[in-house]
Chains A and B, each alone.
Chain A
Amino acid sequence: MGQIQLNQVTKSFGDVQVIPPLDLTIEDGEFTVFVGPSGCGKSTLLRLIAGLEDITSGHIAIDGADATNLPPAKRGLAMVFQSYALYPHMSVRKNIAFPMRMAKMPEDEQNRRIEAAAKALNLTDYLDRRPGQLSGGQRQRVAIGRAIVREPSAFLFDEPLSNLDAALRVGMRLEISEMHERLKATMIYVTHDQVEAMTMADKIVVLRAGFIEQVGSPLELYHKPRNTFVAGFIGSPKMNLIEGPEAQKHGVHTIGIRPEHVQVSKTEGTWKGTVGVAEHLGSDTYIHVHETGLGDLFTVRISGDIPVRHGDTIFLTPDMEQLHKFDENGLRLP
């Protein structure tokens, strides 16, 4: 229960077409992540699926049944908003009960589900508080609780963790993944965060200006980006893309090499450059290298620590196995 199919869906605000014709199928039980630069239409797409925004043309089917003109409440989907969108004047219990109350569910069934959700989300002690008296993470859990009690066929998340601090984010990320394993429900998740996308997704959808650039598993996108946009977008720090003579040596327009696939030496290597800023993360070091003659700034990532200083000369050797090649249209070459 929870297969979602978009068929030639478009969306325009006035004259501006935000989503050009788009086809996408999200399988039952799949964890799908939408990523893309700001303003590319991720939220819009999610809201189209939710029914909060009317689609301009095309069709949406949920579980095979046409849902194009169905109001949001009838689609059987639950959404978790970035701002949590809790009802401030209701207690946590009432917030969680709200969708069930609207569905006129029997009282004891409501209570049973509230207790179960509160237990799963560690909210039992907070049921009688108002949202204003909770921390950000707790509010987020209430929002999730409100979504799960309805037992929806799919969950929609719009950047649910972006208001949380880094530590809490890691915790909630695990909790959501855990919840996905347990409920086996379809989930669609919008995020800016590379790590969230890579770790949580069964399937990542990369969007640019409303177009789907690539759909695939996280590792597929990492190892076989279909074009230079996806190559630059997936992975952190981003892939080094090199044009010009160095690429021509390989007989292509552009070559790409990820920062982690470059060997560093102080004495010899394929390319020579000057060390710029080095970011020491403890486990890894990111070195930004200037004056390589390869175009833009070049980034390398090495595990552990390395004693380099600003201005040192450094030699770089790419791992040829991991070289990506692209033609003049930016498309991947085998």
Chain B
Amino acid sequence: MATQHSRSAARMMLAPAVVLLLGWMLVPLIMTLYFSFKKYLPLRGGDLGWAGFDNYVRFVTSSAFWPSVQATLIIVGGTLLITVVFGVLLGLLLNQPMWGQGVVRILVIAPFFVMPTVSALVWKNMFMDPVNGLFAHLWKFFGAEPVVWLSDASLFSIITIVSWQWLPFATLILLTAIQSLDGEQLEASEMDGAPVLKRFYYIVLPHLGRAITIVILIETIFLLSIFAEIFVTTGGAFGSRTLTYLIFQRVLESQNVGLGSAGGVYAIILANIVAIFLMRIVGKNLDA
């Protein structure tokens, strides 16, 4: 029974959690905003007073800004494309009855449990190393010149690594969606004369719409801020500097907290633009 008394008691009980959550989200955000208007160079004089919009102007006009936005979008887009396409294919494959199904499913999910730093290092040293990597050996076996992956095809390499990490997530979600498809619908379409590919296009794919939307939205949130994979592989060189990485360099390498904070605010704006676009394109799948 919600009396006046118990309601105010409930508010009191909830208050610590609410305050904690608010603090958790608001304090860092407000601090970022605060520093973005400051000229703050920790090793070169510390707090040098207010800077107005200087940091914002400097951050966008820097020659590294637009390339970093572009690199971010390419990595996010490329990874989404690869994980969704292969996630659907793997999901369909894993849905087939086969020998050792349980083990195979666990193996497919395994990459998701590997820490980003570790997986990036494994890829860098064991696969993509131009001298000792597996790919180098493979290329040499066929008589080709080994590719120096991380410098010659840096974005592609990072997309590969990140896709490898996120493919299990996409596969898992899409597999459960495929499993929830009513078998009678497929049988009905088979009787209606739809061959395999048309069944996939007209029945399976629309059924997966919502799951694909979820995969895209969730992955985007995490992919916009990938860092470790870049840090341990290219270190932001060879055109692989994303917005997140640029901010990191401004704050820690050039020790300019104000400039980095302004970049952080831009990152928030970029994330929101991407979110609005995504909701426009795929969000309608979530209704009904």
Do A and B originate from a single complex?
Answer: yes
A residues in contact (CB < 8 Å) with B:
50-52, 71-73, 77-79, 81-83, 85-89, 98-99, 102-103, 132, 146, 150
Per-position binary interface string of chain B over residues 178-205, scored 1 when its CB falls under 8 Å from any chain A CB and 0 otherwise: 0000101101111111110010001100
**With known contacts A98-B189, A132-B288, A146-B192, A83–B182 Cβ distance under 8 A:** yes
Count B-side interface residues using an 8 Å CB cutoff.
19
* Given contacts A102-B198, A132-B288, A52 and B192 within 8 Å (CB-CB): no
A51 to B187, CA, bound (A): 10
Q: Which residue of A lies closest to B190 (CB)?
A: A72
| Distance of A234 Cα from B206 Cα, bound (Å) | 45
Per the bound structure, the CA–CA distance linking A81 and B189 in Å amounts to 12
Give 17 pairs: A residue, B residue, CB < 8 Å, sorted on A. A50-B191, A72-B191, A73-B194, A77-B191, A79-B188, A79-B191, A82-B184, A86-B185, A87-B202, A87-B203, A87-B206, A89-B206, A89-B209, A98-B192, A98-B202, A102-B194, A132-B288
- Least Cβ distance of B192 to chain A in Å? 4
B203 neighbours in A (Cβ, 8 Å):
87
Contact check, B182 vs A85: say whether CB atoms are below 8 A apart.
yes
Give chain B's interface residues, CB within 8 Å of chain A: 182, 184-185, 187-195, 198, 202-203, 206-207, 209, 288
Complex: A50 Cα to B194 Cα, angstroms: 15
Contacts between chains A and B (CB distance < 8 A), count: 59
Complex interface: chain B residues within 8 A of A83 (CB): 182, 184
Is the Cβ of B190 less than 8 Å from the Cβ of A85? no
B49 to chain A, nearest CB (A): 60
Interchain CB contact under 8 A, B193 and A85: no
- Bound-state CA distance A14–B116 (Å) is 46
Tell me the complex Cα distance, A293–B160, Å. 82
B188 adjacent to A73 (CB under 8 Å): no
Central interface residue in A79, A87, A146, by most chain B CB within 10 Å:
A87
Q: Which of B182, B185, B187, B194 contacts A52 (CB 8 A)?
A: B187
The distance from the CB of B146 to the nearest CB of chain A, in whole angstroms, is 48
Give bound CA distance, A23 to B262, whole Å.
Answer: 81
Whether B191 lies near A102 (C-beta < 8 A) is no
Nearest A residue to B198 via CB reads A102
Query: Whose C-beta in chain B lies nearest to the C-beta of A71?
Result: B190
Which 6 pairs between the two chains have the least Cβ-Cβ distance?
A99-B192, A73-B193, A85-B188, A85-B184, A102-B193, A89-B206
C-alpha spacing A73/B194, complex, angstroms? 8
Shortest distance in angstroms between B4's beta carbon and chain A's nearest beta carbon? Answer: 43
| B residues less than 8 Å from A71 (CB atoms) | 190
Closest A residue to B188 by beta carbon equals A85
Contacts of B190 in A (CB 8 A): 52, 71-73
Rounded to whole angstroms, the CA-CA distance of A81 and B188 in the bound complex is: 8
A85-B187 contact, Cβ under 8 Å, with A102-B193, A102-B194: yes
Closest residue of chain A to B185, judged by CB? A85
Residue of B185, B191, B193 near A87 (CB, 8 A) is: B185
Neighbouring B residues of A50 by C-beta, 8 Å:
191
